[in-house]
Structure 1
């Protein structure tokens, strides 16, 4: 706590455990119940660009809370794998990330390797992990960042809530079982690389493989110039396989009409909110004209000042 990490050649804090192959259940050799709190990280990764102020790898129940991170070549917080879970990333301010690389964000997660642990249920080995929680962070998706919370490469079992995310939206790529609720996304359409630029980018969903149990509810998304809120790959009204969407507030530029893009009768169509909802999607959601920047900032203050560390967390 209360440390400054500056002008580092590599990462700031690295947590790395070990397993016997994929067996992390019978091998108890992982950082556990670690707290990284109230630190300043800046000018990291001077020489090693594949680095982060905080790297979490093969670890259990790590809390990264109330830190400030800026000026790094890649992510601010990188959760390297899906081992065990039950991590909490909360109350952090992260900006000026991904300055010298690409395809990353202020917070990045991966899940490329299956591990055996008892994260899902104590004493019961499983390849599923405990849900991790990302909440009440202020994230600026500037420089080369793709998404404020970049859930990449099969990331699953996350609950993201009450984050104020500027210049980016939600991402799912080859993952499943993530919930986004009470989030605010500001001007995600100022980014346009590889399908970014929307409130939701649901990439490569495939029944039985990825994209299932994705939930996006009670969120606010303000678009700057585009009227298209979602980029859902392979969206087809004849065989819908999309996130569960409900009670969201979508704001589009003044004098534009929202357009939900999905195939209808074999052809791509731009659907109105009423047409989109006629398929049982986004029930309770609304579309309105975008508010002014002062209103948006006030919304951010409101959600960030009501921080509750008990959001779903198990210690």
Structure 2
């Protein structure tokens, strides 16, 4: 059964209202945050400046000279209440494939360079994640990670960073991958990391504290906008997307990299209507149906 928490609202300064759906991360809270913020975008309410969904909450920035904060709060509560019914959480989404070279030499090199900042310097980042997840075999871990679909619960921190939360986990099965004790000062562009329960793709070269498990040849941030999927935005990620990682090797990595450089690469995608209620009831059978033909 899909459980929906009661939202707590708080004024933050003179221009923000913060809505906390839950203090714990779950798929249901993410669906509610996505449903509410999409409804707010659709209504184009005068005075609202920005709408930011997060993993288990959302933040609204408004102009108090245009809309009363108390009137806006009442309005938000009304919308939030309508999105507390499971059938109100349905959303149009898309599946996006992310080709992934797991345990590649570039991220292994970065892990080695910054190993003294990590919790277990005797292991590479990949080995630490693998063992934290209970795997002794590299291929078994890769198969598990690549067979899991990930819900994009939010975009941010570094511009364009998509936070991928695993679907199909039992309520008591959320894992917690340790982060670096002190962040790396460098992370390669398009490296793939894991921290807590999340997988992320680093959109640009930057600092970072997530354990590096691989790299992708495809951009998630593309300011040139030469690739078709970036026609309307410099960012690939949209909250509510489902991303899946497909294992590739060195040869395919450089083949795709060349296609990207030449502006001819096309992402493998599929649009679909996602029902959180059906997902909660059917679990893997629903996901298998969603992935059919992809």
Task: Say which structure is richer in helix.
Answer: 2
Task: Say which structure is richer in strand.
Answer: 1
Give yes or no for TM over 0.5: no
- Structure with the larger RCO, 1 or 2 (CA within 8 Å, 6+ apart): 2
